[in-house]
Amino acid sequence: MSTEPPTGTDWLRQQEKSNLAILRLMVWISLTFGRRIGRLVLYGIAAYYVLFAARARRASRAYLQRALGRWAEWADGFRHVLAFASTIHDRIYLLNDRFDLFDIEVVGAEALHASLERQPGALLIGAHLGSFEVLRALGRHRAGLKVAMLMYEENARKINATLEAINPAATEDIIALGRMDSMLQARDRLDQGYLVGLLADRRLGDDATVDCNFLGQPAPFPTGPFRMAAMLQRPVFFMTGLYLGGNRYRIHFEPLADFSQTPRSERAAAMQAAQQRYADRLSHYCRLAPYNWFNFFDFWQKK
């Protein structure tokens, strides 16, 4: 691994703008016509983006070729955008506890529950891979599993403005990153037994990054999530809610590190090792479910 100078905020300007636009459209369609009709409309949305969003299409193809190990066809790009739109569409129902519409499988929960029995709270480090919302919603549905989400403040503000119109309770457990008390809020939730989740495959502004091997090539990952994990001294699990098509999701939990047992003198090495394990598991799931990593900018680009 080697450190890299801070990069810009292309993903904020590109991806979050698209996320919010699609989300607002899907809210209206979903609440007006229901899930079955909404899913039909998704095909038109996916086709539009594949045809007219040239920059996102090129980035999608560059990623898919690594994940698929072959040339990515137009059909692959369409499946990529369709999976993305499907998870956004399904948020509407998950946020309103419509679990009867979904078939959700959970894998690896035993290790997570064992960790929670030893110590309250754990960190879930995920990616823009599948749906994190399926875990948050499932946590609200099942007694005793409380989930809070750390998000960049501007993203949290934009998304909350839309989600509050669907279900105001959905915004209660979102902690905005970048504030003076963000760490304190996260610590308090952990002490209360929460699972605190954050996504570690995007960097913001002047965030420091470190190069990790990802899908066979070095790529910059932000160090902030793992610094926070080490400072909070909690077990860390990789988490993803893969979208399997139709109404099926599979939630995976895998242990990444346990900073509650790491001496301060070994913390830097432990963070670096955990970050590469994170990149390795992300690579694994990108190959397992390639259309689930919602990357629509040049992730490997050096600036």
Question: pLDDT: is 42 or 71 the higher one?
Answer: 71
**Residue 7, pLDDT score:** 42
Give the residue among 94, 63, 105, 99 at the shortest CA–CA distance from 81. 63
Question: pLDDT: is 109 or 10 the higher one?
Answer: 109
pTM over 0.85: yes
CB 130 within 8 A of CB 291: no
**3 SS3 class:** strand
Model confidence band, residue 146 (pLDDT cutoffs 50, 70, 90): confident
Counting the structural domains of the chain, the total is: 1
Average pLDDT rounded to a whole number, residues 41-57: 89
**Residue 5, pLDDT score:** 35
Residue 216 lies in a domain: yes
Residue 244 lies in a domain: yes
Residue 149 lies in a domain: yes
**Residue 298, pLDDT score:** 84
CB 201 within 8 A of CB 127: yes
Model confidence band, residue 248 (pLDDT cutoffs 50, 70, 90): very high
Residue 144 lies in a domain: yes
Given a cut of 60, whether residue 4 has pLDDT beyond it is no
Please report which residue ranges of 34-132 form alpha helices under DSSP H: 35-52, 54-68, 74-94, 109-118
**Residue 110, pLDDT score:** 92
Residue 297 lies in a domain: no
CB 205 within 8 A of CB 6: yes
Q: Average the pLDDT over each of 161-175, 198-212, 250-264 and give the range with the smallest value.
A: 161-175
Residue 300 lies in a domain: no
**Residue 263, pLDDT score:** 84
With left for phi above 0 and alpha for psi between -120 and 50, is residue 108 left, alpha or beta? Answer: left
Residue 80 lies in a domain: yes
**Residue 8, pLDDT score:** 42
Q: For 67-80, how does the pLDDT look when each residue is reduced to its tens digit (9 = 90+)?
A: 999 999 999 999 99
Given a cut of 70, whether residue 14 has pLDDT beyond it is no
Residue 2 lies in a domain: no
Model confidence band, residue 285 (pLDDT cutoffs 50, 70, 90): very high
Segments forming the whole domain that contains residue 45: 8-292
Given a cut of 50, whether residue 194 has pLDDT beyond it is yes
